[in-house]
Chains A and B, each alone.
Chain A
Amino acid sequence: KNQVEQSPQSLIILEGKNCTLQCNYTVSPFSNLRWYKQDTGRGPVSLTIMTFSENTKSNGRYTATLDADTKQSSLHITASQLSDSASYICVVTGGAGGGADGLTFGKGTHLIIQP
């Protein structure tokens, strides 16, 4: 069964500090991995998308890494800001043909930035 596990479930850090969120998956065959940011009560917004051949991808203060051998990804947030408080969702696409029914969503990491 395809699964995406995220850790930690929740995290509280002080403004200005860095943090790293983890995503482990068992989706096979693998197509790509996305990180989304979801503010409370809002729709998720795409941060990055990574394919099998990509190890690192940055989007401003967000840097995602992918290790396809160990089936792990991380999202590193540098110099956190209060606006980074949100849930971060890891989504892995796989299975035959990919597509809408090939997406597996993690439960998300709830990040709180304290002033």
Chain B
Amino acid sequence: DGGITQSPKYLFRKEGQNVTLSCEQNLNHDAMYWYRQDPGQGLRLIYYSQIVNDFQKGDIAEGYSVSREKKESFPLTVTSAQKNPTAFYLCASSIGARSGNTIYFGEGSWLTVV
């Protein structure tokens, strides 16, 4: 089936630890995104990538890093510099980053700091 696969669904991070969330898509989309969702808040953009080997910071990039070595993959690393990482993380993709293109979301990953 075509879609966006995020893993793991649930992840626990210890203080001072880096963790990486995986995002893979087989939709042949050029653009990929990472959003963070907190309870009662709207989605906030962390990073996005319009093409392989290129990515841009979103509104809340501090404490996060990404890579885009392959078109299908856009992993997000939550570093120890992110002081409040507990949240629901959503990966998304679209044909391109133009405003008229529908953004498709993965099923999300829950990250909890223990």
Partner-B contacts on A (CB < 8 A)? 4, 31-32, 34, 36, 41-46, 49, 51, 89, 93-94, 97-108
- The listed residue (A34, A42, A51, A107) touching B107 by CB distance below 8 A is A42
C-beta contact mask, B77-105 vs A, less than 8 Å → 1, else 0? 00000000000101010100111101111
Q: How large is the interface on B (under 10, 10 to 19, 20 to 34, 35 or more residues)?
A: 20 to 34
**Cα A89 to Cα B107 with chains together (Å):** 16
Please indicate the chain B residues that have their CB under 8 angstroms from the CB of A89 in the complex: 42-43
**Total A-B residue contacts, Cβ distance less than 8 Å:** 68
Please indicate the chain A residues that have their CB under 8 angstroms from the CB of B110 in the complex: 41
Q: A4-B42, A101-B48, A107-B41 are in contact. Are A93 and B104 (CB under 8 A)?
A: no
- The listed residue (B4, B88, B97, B108) touching A100 by CB distance below 8 A is B97
- The listed residue (A49, A98, A100) touching B45 by CB distance below 8 A is A100
- In the complex, chain B residues 17-35 whose Cβ is within 8 Å of any chain A Cβ: 31, 33
The residue among A45, A93, A106 with the most chain B CB atoms within 10 A of its own CB is A93
Please indicate the chain A residues that have their CB under 8 angstroms from the CB of B105 in the complex: 36, 43-45
Please indicate the chain B residues that have their CB under 8 angstroms from the CB of A49 in the complex: 100, 102
Partner-A contacts on B (CB < 8 A)? 4, 6, 31, 33, 40-45, 48, 50, 56, 58-59, 88, 90, 92, 94, 97-100, 102-108, 110
A-B contact pairs, 7 of them (CB 8 A): A43-B105, A46-B102, A89-B43, A100-B33, A100-B58, A101-B48, A105-B43
Given contacts A45-B105, A103-B45, 17 further A-B contacts (CB under 8 A): A42-B107, A43-B4, A43-B106, A43-B108, A44-B43, A44-B90, A44-B105, A46-B102, A51-B100, A93-B99, A97-B99, A98-B100, A100-B33, A101-B58, A106-B42, A107-B40, A107-B41
Please indicate the chain B residues that have their CB under 8 angstroms from the CB of A43 in the complex: 4, 6, 90, 92, 105-108
